[in-house]
Amino acid sequence: MSTAFSSIPIVDLSRLQDPKTKSDELAVLRNAVFNIGFLYLTKTGLEQFDFGTECKDWSEDEPFWQRIEGPSQYPNDSIKDLVQRYTSGMSEIGRQFVRFVAECLSLPADTFDTFLGEMSRMKLVKYPPAAPGSQGVGAHKDGIGLFTFLAQDSVGGLQVLNKAGDWIEATPIEGSIVVNVAQGFEAITGGVCSGTTHRVVAPTSTTRYSIPFFQAVRLNLELEELKRSTVAIVAKIPVSDDKKKRAVDVPSELISPLYACFGEAQLRNRIISHPEVGQKWYPDLYEKYSKMAMA
């Protein structure tokens, strides 16, 4: 449950990794996952790459300012390689991160390891300039995965809704990754750590680019297993009984008895969210899930 926060906390991964500063930083992380659902993760060691329209390299007979243009910073000839490096680096940061989250909730560090899935996903998102106040992405909570790790450029536009109903700007902080609780983690913690509504307001004069990375949940996780784990996990998290009581029966399509496992719930979510794609590639499932949605 988000509170009436006015800013988004900054968590330093290198301080979590350092035994001397770890406990102080775990307290910052605990506040973020309990009360806000959002944080900036800094000092991740992740590389950044710039891309642009292909240009030739600068040569000495050209003006010095021409050096601002040049070839994109491909580490080699293949985008595939770059994306794979990003996803494997981000996966490792994600694995470390959920261990620190477990510790900040006073749980054994490996508590969430068993929930991690194989295929995390990333997107390269472009928001072209639009009229003031235009929607980039409408208000939503992230429905896929445990946590979302978002690299954003310096343009801004991401906003997070607090409990008072105010939209708080997630102003870009260079070198940071914005991390937020997704509904998979909300389900696993029985709603004690809940996702927070957010949106993107389109830029007005400069294109915004962002790269969300959605940390996967194990697809074959079944409802009964999830329920048992959730009860055990919630019992160990040191929050008030009141908060635990409110956490019971959190409405979530991810823990619905309608679906065999997490994988089915996620596939259904994608099919319903993208009906044209769903109709084309999964016609039988599209029909089944759209009927269920209307029932």
Which residues contact Fe ion by CB under 5 A?
142
CB of 47 to Fe ion, least distance (A): 23
Is the CB of 198 or the CB of 268 nearer to Fe ion? Answer: 198
Q: Measured from the CB of residue 198, what is the shortest distance to Fe ion in angstroms?
A: 6
Distance of CA 24 to the CA centre of its chain: 24
Which residue, 107 or 216, has its beta carbon nearer to Fe ion?
216
The C-alpha atoms of residue 252 and residue 255 are separated, in whole angstroms, by: 6
Minimum Å distance from CB 212 to Fe ion? Answer: 7
In terms of CB distance, is 145 or 229 closer to Fe ion? Answer: 145
Measured from the CB atom, the residue of 237 and 254 that comes closer to Fe ion is 254
Residue reference for tokens 């899930």: 289
Q: What is the DSSP letter of 201?
A: E
Number of helical (H) and strand (E) elements in the chain, helices listed first: 9, 11
Q: Which is nearer to Fe ion, 142 or 264 (CB)?
A: 142
Would you give the distance in Å from CA 80 to the centre of its chain? 22
Closest CB to Fe ion belongs to which residue? 142
What residues have CB less than 8 Å from 192, skipping those under 6 apart? 34, 234, 237, 239, 243, 244, 247
Kindly state the smallest distance separating residue 266's Cβ from Fe ion, in Å: 15
Minimum distance, C-beta of residue 21 to Fe ion, in the bound complex (Å): 30
Q: Give whichever of 17 and 171 is closer to Fe ion, judged by the CB atom.
A: 171
Distance CA(156)–CA(171), nearest Å, equals 6
Residue 195, classified by CB atoms within 10 Å of its CB into exposed (0-12), middle (13-18) or buried (19+), is buried
The nearest distance, CB 243 to Fe ion, in angstroms, is 24
Distance of CA 12 to the CA centre of its chain: 17
* Beta carbon nearer to Fe ion, 103 or 142: 142
Neighbours of 151 (CB within 10 A): 21
Side-chain-side CA neighbours of 215 within 13 Å: the count stands at: 26
Minimum separation from the CB atom of position 233 to Fe ion (A) = 24
Given a contact cutoff of 8 angstroms between Cβ atoms, the answer to whether 116 and 95 are in contact is yes
